Amino acid sequence: MTPADLPTELHLVNPRQVLGQVYLDWTPQPGSYLDHQGQTYTVLERRHRYQLRAGRYQLNKIALYVQTAPEDGERRFVNGAWVIGDSTCIFNAQSPILRCAVNPRGPCQDCPSYQAQL
**Domain co-membership, 75 together with 57:** no
Enclosing domain of residue 8: 3-68
**Domain co-membership, 59 together with 77:** no
State the DSSP string of 41-70.
EEEEEEEEEEEEETTEEEEEEEEEEEEEPP
**Domain co-membership, 54 together with 93:** no
Q: What would the pLDDT profile of 88-106 be if each residue is shown by its tens digit?
A: 888 888 888 788 888 877 7
**Domain co-membership, 50 together with 80:** no
| Banded pLDDT at 70 (limits 50, 70, 90) | confident
**Whole-number average pLDDT of the chain:** 85
Q: What is the mean pLDDT of residues 13-39?
A: 90
Q: Determine the Cα–Cα distance for residues 115 and 92; give it in Å rounded to an integer.
A: 10
**Domain co-membership, 34 together with 90:** no
**Domain co-membership, 54 together with 82:** no
Query: Which residues have a Cβ under 8 Å from the Cβ of 85 and sit 6 or more positions away?
Result: 70, 74, 92, 93, 99, 100, 106, 108
| Residue that is last in its domain, among 28, 43, 68 | 68
